[in-house]
Structure 1
Amino acid sequence: MTKLTGPALRVTIFIGENDTWHHRPLHSEIVHRAHAAGLAGASVFHGVEGFGASSRIHTSRLLSLSEDLPVAIVIVDREDRVRAFLPQLERLVTGGLVMLDEVEVIRYASRNGGSGEDGRNDGDGK
């Protein structure tokens, strides 16, 4: 049983919702690879408006074309585990932004209050 508290790293990846990896949504590929690597957790957040290196504004407003909206993937784990995962991100993310932040984990547990057998918080309460 893994316990994740104290110092950790958060990697945040900003990409577009239309970005793909071998005909699969890139955000899904990143989450599944993070899971396969045994990382503590990953979440995907859909943006409603934003711009990046292209300086083109992408928006979901009614009268605008809602194309390629921003997506953020956030992964948190111990520093050694996150850094070991970075080479995979280097291969996958060809456009976008990848950031690392030092964070302090205060609580990491499933909804029922316990840690999962494998230390992952999958949010299913089991």
Structure 2
Amino acid sequence: MQIPSDAILLRILVGESDRCGSQPLYQAIVLKARELNLAGATVLRGPMGFGQSSRLHTAKILDLSNDLPFVIEIVDAEDKINAFLPILDGMMASGLVTLEKVKIIQYGTNAKA
């Protein structure tokens, strides 16, 4: 798969307890991105965070949260990301979605190395 050097980073912030049907929202997003042949997706789990409610979510033992923050990052060409946004909107009831322009330096393996 070839993606242009000028691309878009789609960053999605959700809670661990957010759902899409019967599965975790972060998982549903990644599986849908894969189904639509986006270049790739990564899920990062945060040990601490807060959102619009200002309620603190933390992984500390004494204050164990069942709703830790998750960040899903997807990078691809602008047209492919823009086509994914309406689908994403239909999957999410809450969360934060951002877009950034990025420059791709390397994607995949480096045959020269």
TM category (shorter chain) comes to over 0.9
In 2, the alpha carbon distance for the partners of 1:4 and 1:21 equals 29
Q: CA deviation at 1:82?
A: 0.4
Q: Which has the larger share of helix?
A: 2
Q: CA deviation at 1:5?
A: 4.0
Q: Deviations over 1:11-45 (max 9, x none)?
A: 00000011111110110100000001110000100
Quick check: 1:13–1:96 contact (8 Å CA) kept in 2? yes
The 4+ residue runs of structure 1 with deviation greater than 4 A are none
In 2, the alpha carbon distance for the partners of 1:17 and 1:65 equals 13
The equivalences for 1:1-126 within 5 A come to 2-110=1-109, 113=110
In 2, the alpha carbon distance for the partners of 1:54 and 1:66 equals 15
Question: Which amino acid in the other structure matches residue 89 of structure 1?
Answer: L
Runs of 5+ unmatched residues, structure 2: none
Q: Deviations over 1:24-72 (max 9, x none)?
A: 0110100000001110000100000000011100000111022200000
> How many pairs were matched up?
111
In 2, the alpha carbon distance for the partners of 1:23 and 1:53 equals 24
TM-score (norm 1): 0.84
Greater alpha carbon shift after TM alignment, 24-33 vs 4-13: 4-13
Quick check: 2:12–2:98 contact (8 Å CA) kept in 1? yes
Quick check: 2:41–2:74 contact (8 Å CA) kept in 1? yes
